[in-house]
Amino acid sequence: MKWILKALGGLLVFGACALAGLRLSRRDMLQAEELAAFRSAFLLLKSEIQYARTPLAEAFSHTAAFNDEQPSVFFYNMAERLQQNDGSSASQVWAESLQALRYSSRLADEDFRRFALLGQTIGCLDGSSQAEGLDAAMHHIDDRIAQLHNHSNSHVRMYRNIGALFGALLAVSLL
């Protein structure tokens, strides 16, 4: 009976370590998917600002309506705050919304720094300058997605194997 409990414990440890390896292997891909969602949101925001010349609160609201979860929540919060007319500038609202996004996002600090730079141009400059800022952010996103895909392709297998190997090592050591 004691041997069976040890075997079950070892199996649970192995499974937990293998699952941790699988989660690590998916981390880069999930981050790339979130970046791609922000890229499409920035593209829509650019067209709202540059071509439709929509006021910022409406542009953020339209952008929120046509995007995935993270960008949608971010832009919806921005639209809501700007419509309250509490005296905050668009760049202040951007910074606060970006800070709130940190807790629920998979994005890296590097991405948040780039988005913060973009926020300094939103609402402060003319439409073409804001569009240039959005273009720079989209270029950064393209580079980061390519970097994440390269990293993911080379490390996915390693994370899975290390998780399984570490789990097997711990399971054997427990027996």
Q: Report DSSP letters for 27-65, one per residue.
A: HHHHHHHHHHHHHHHHHHHHHHHHTS---HHHHHHHHHH
Cα gap 133→89, rounded to integer Å: 17
Cβ atoms of residues 141 and 113 within 8 Å = no
**Residue 159: C-alpha distances to residues 10, 151, 162 (Å):** 20, 11, 5
pLDDT tens for each residue of 2-56? 777 777 777 777 777 677 777 777 788 888 899 999 999 999 988 888 887 888 8
What size, in residues, is the chain? 175
More confident residue, 106 or 156: 106
Selection from 60-69, 104-113, 149-158 with the highest mean pLDDT: 104-113
Question: What backbone torsions phi and psi does residue 43 show, to the nearest 5 degrees?
Answer: -65, -45
pLDDT tens for each residue of 93-125? 888 889 988 888 888 899 999 999 888 888 776
Taking 90 as the threshold, does the pLDDT of residue 143 lie above it?
yes
**Residue 34: C-alpha distances to residues 5, 39, 55, 123 (Å):** 42, 9, 26, 24
Selection from 72-76, 157-161, 167-171 with the highest mean pLDDT: 72-76
**Alpha-helix runs per DSSP H in the chain:** 2-50, 56-65, 69-83, 90-101, 109-121, 127-174
Cβ atoms of residues 8 and 151 within 8 Å = no
List of residues 6+ apart from 45 with CB closer than 8 A: 59, 60, 63, 75, 134
- CA-only gyration radius of the chain, Å: 22
For the chain, report the end-to-end CA distance as a whole number of angstroms.
Answer: 13
pLDDT tens for each residue of 44-60? 988 888 887 888 888 88
pLDDT at 21: 73
